[in-house]
Amino acid sequence: MQVSNFNVTSTTPTPTPTPTPTPTPTPAKGKIFGYVVNVKGTPIKSVLIRLIPEDGGGYRSTYTDEDGFFEFEDLDANTYYSIYARKKGYKQVRKTVSIEDGEEYQVAIVMKKKKKRRSIMYTEPEIDELIQERE
């Protein structure tokens, strides 16, 4: 009797591991906040603050509180923003800022009063009689 050597191979396929892609990290959201004051450092309330992303996205707006404070949260990071401050009787102020991943950016805005315009209305007087010239 003769015994031969033989190899047994499995017919079940061996699974090949699929590489898991490394996810791209999502940038953390940022925050812009600050105060609006006049040239003497007194807070200005009810100032319209408009925040416009430089990439052309939609804008956000808010008003300052009694302390001149405002804030915008949950902002896209790595983006430039224009901040406009407007209030009747004051000159408009514009600032541009950029926030990085998770950054909180504080802004100080100083507003100057507009100069009051005065106008004088002059009307010609009515002349009822002719005055003779002296010789």
Digit-coded pLDDT (tens) for 51-63: 999 988 789 999 9
pLDDT digits (tens, 9 = 90+) for 37-52: 999 999 999 999 999 9
- 3-state SS string over 10-50? CCCCCCCCCCCCCCCCCCCCEEEEEEEEECCCCECCCCEEE
Burial of 32 (0-12, 13-18, 19+ CB in 10 A): buried
8, pLDDT greater than 60? no
Domain that holds residue 77: 30-111
Number of domains the chain contains = 1
Bin 103: left if φ > 0, else alpha if -120 < ψ < 50, else beta: beta
131, pLDDT greater than 90? no
Q: Whole-prediction pTM value?
A: 0.67
Residue 65 lies in a domain: yes
pLDDT digits (tens, 9 = 90+) for 75-122: 988 899 999 999 999 999 999 999 988 899 999 999 999 987 777 777
Q: What is the CATH number of the domain that holds 64?
A: 2.60.40.1120
Residue 11 lies in a domain: no
Residue 128 lies in a domain: no
Residue 129 lies in a domain: no
| pLDDT score of 56 | 80
Residue 51 lies in a domain: yes
CA distance 48 to 60: 11
